[in-house]
């Protein structure tokens, strides 16, 4: 593996009740995050291809971890998202290199489909910084019930020369979705939008 | 006996490969199970609260079993443990103390009668409050390599009338433990201390 991983953290949230209503089945979402060494920390490097390759590796690894944590087959996943936090000796562009050029293909391979853009967020931050991973339906970005976000943090990362990279996967939308819009049973699945 | 009303459960698993030193052949794993429950005593002073410990027993067992499952399903791999509680603002710290018996004895039962006292921390806090759950060896509290802590928290809990209950299990010593003291290999196993 090109990625030098210090640790991997997985998070699973299962919501069983909300506003005194039972959520049946419970909504579930998982995030898997890797803390990696930033090969370009502390200097300007023009060619970011090493981080692009690392992104491809992490796309597969973290999606598999998240799906295993949910205990579902990949194709049963409903929404997804990705995010990265670069430690203080790195550059925002390093997060972009990990997340954008090559990470998506293996994510979609694990999940079977995924016509929609994978929503993303990125930042530079210190140890314990929070990541709000945006979530959207994997086959149709306009499915309103699945617009969401999952907050995670790893208390000892990213150190200055590290990058925290996370992928979130769900088997459901918000617990009590009721603001209308496109629903998942109306997905045409042609353009990744509707 | 009634049962605790659970709004949400969260699981966090950390897999630690190194922390700047040699990469471990077997990574250290630390797992936390968190349950967000309604605090039946929120907003008023109630003198008699002990009975609620019985209501929490099934939840403690469920959480302890889920931690063993996340660490591979064999209780023998578990070497460290800890517990904690965050009480929402309309509750009192004493409500968090109700977790000592059902949380601690659930883990000791699932871990085949672990001998050491289960270390704990607790606080009153708002949504997103973080708790450092202390960790020690399951059979001998003085094993220095296993003194550790895991920071946990949930962005949207506890609300004022809720409590977050936490159990933590680990598979071994700190990743680069080298601060001396009693070793796990030297445990006598008579008193839970050495």
Q: Among candidates B110, B105, B100, which has minimal Cα distance to B69?
A: B110
| pTM, entire model | 0.91
What average pLDDT does range B12-41 have in this prediction? 97
Q: Among candidates B23, B138, B89, which has minimal Cα distance to A3?
A: B23
Give the pLDDT score at B14.
98
Q: Among candidates B128, B132, B130, which has minimal Cα distance to B158?
A: B128
Percent of chain A with pLDDT over 90: 95
A31, closest residue in chain B (CA to CA): B12
E strands along B22-119, which residues? Answer: 28-38, 80-87
What would the DSSP string read from start to end of A121-188? Answer: EEEE--TT-EEEEEEEESS-TTBGGG-EEEEEE-TT---TTEEEEEEEEESS--TT--S-SB-GGG--
What average pLDDT does range B157-175 have in this prediction? 98
Average pLDDT over chain A reads: 96
Q: Which of B4, B15, B149 has the most A C-beta neighbours within 10 Å, making it the best mutation to test the interface with A?
A: B15
Cβ proximity of A179 and A144 under 8 Å: yes
Contact A17 B15 (CB under 8 A): no
Percent of chain B with pLDDT over 70: 99
pLDDT bucket at B189, cuts 50 / 70 / 90: confident
Cβ proximity of B9 and B31 under 8 Å: no
pLDDT tens per residue, range B85-113: 999 999 999 999 999 999 999 999 999 98
pLDDT tens per residue, range A153-193: 999 999 999 999 999 999 999 999 999 889 999 998 888 89
Q: Closest approach of chain A CAs to the CA of B16, in angstroms?
A: 4
CA distance A155 to B149: 11
Please name the residues in contact with A70: beta carbons below 8 A apart, sequence gap of 6 or more: A12, A28, A29, A30, A77, A169, A170, A171
B72 close to A (CB below 8 A): no
Q: Over 70: is that where the pLDDT of A150 sits?
A: yes
What average pLDDT does range B44-66 have in this prediction? 97
Give the pLDDT score at A116.
94
Q: Is A78 helix (H, G, I), strand (E, B) or coil?
A: coil
Token readout for B75 is 């209780």
B19 close to A (CB below 8 A): yes
pLDDT tens per residue, range B138-160: 999 999 999 999 999 999 999 99
* A20 interaction partners in chain B (CB closer than 8 Å): none
Q: Closest approach of chain B CAs to the CA of A29, in angstroms?
A: 10
Q: Over 90: is that where the pLDDT of B1 sits?
A: no
Cα distances from A28 to residues A77, A85, A137, B29, in angstroms, run 10, 24, 14, 23
Token readout for A134 is 């945006």
Percent of chain A with pLDDT over 70: 100
**What is the distance in angstroms between the CA of the first residue and the CA of the last residue of chain A?**
37
Token readout for B100 is 């000592």
What average pLDDT does range A120-133 have in this prediction? 96
Q: Among candidates B110, B49, B121, which has minimal Cα distance to B84?
A: B121
How many residue pairs bridge chain A and chain B with CB atoms within 8 Å of each other?
51
């Amino acid at each position: 593996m090109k990625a030098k991983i210090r640790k991997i953290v997985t998070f699973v949230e299962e919501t069983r009740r909300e506003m005194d209503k039972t959520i049946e089945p419970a909504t579930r979402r998982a995030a898997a995050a890797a803390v990696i060494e930033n090969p370009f920390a502390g200097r300007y490097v023009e060619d970011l291809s090493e981080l692009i390759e690392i992104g491809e590796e992490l796309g597969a690894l973290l999606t598999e971890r998240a799906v295993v944590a949910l205990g579902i087959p990949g194709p049963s996943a409903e929404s997804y998202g990705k995010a990265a936090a670069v430690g203080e000796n790195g550059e925002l562009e390093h997060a972009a290199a990990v997340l954008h050029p090559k990470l998506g293909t293996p994510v979609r391979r694990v999940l079977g489909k995924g016509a929609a853009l994978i929503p993303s967020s990125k930042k530079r931050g210190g140890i314990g910084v929070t990541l709000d991973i945006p979530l959207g339906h994997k086959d149709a970005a306009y499915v309103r019930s699945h617009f969401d976000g999952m907050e995670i943090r790893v208390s000892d990362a990213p150190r200055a020369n590290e990058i925290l990279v996370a992928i979130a996967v769900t088997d459901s939308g918000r617990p009590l979705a009721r603001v209308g819009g496109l629903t998942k049973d109306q997905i045409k699945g042609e353009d990744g939008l509707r | 006996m009634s049962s605790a009303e659970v709004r949400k459960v969260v699981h966090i698993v950390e897999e630690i490969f190194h922390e700047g030193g040699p990469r471990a052949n077997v990574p250290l794993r630390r797992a936390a199970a968190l349950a967000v429950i309604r605090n039946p005593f929120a907003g008023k002073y109630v003198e008699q609260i002990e009975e609620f410990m019985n209501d929490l027993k099934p939840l403690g067992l469920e959480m302890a079993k889920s931690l063993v499952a996340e660490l591979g399903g064999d209780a023998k791999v578990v070497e460290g443990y800890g517990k904690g509680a965050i009480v929402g603002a309309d509750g009192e710290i004493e409500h968090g103390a109700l977790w000592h018996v059902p949380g601690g004895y659930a883990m000791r039962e699932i871990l085949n009668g672990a001998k050491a006292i289960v270390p704990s921390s607790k606080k009153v806090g708002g949504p997103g409050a973080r708790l450092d759950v202390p960790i020690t060896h399951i059979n001998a509290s003085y094993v220095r390599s296993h003194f550790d802590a895991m920071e946990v928290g949930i962005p949207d809990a506890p609300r004022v009338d809720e409590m977050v209950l936490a159990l933590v299990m680990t598979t071994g010593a700190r990743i680069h433990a080298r601060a001396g003291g009693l070793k796990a290999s030297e445990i006598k196993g008579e008193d839970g201390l050495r």
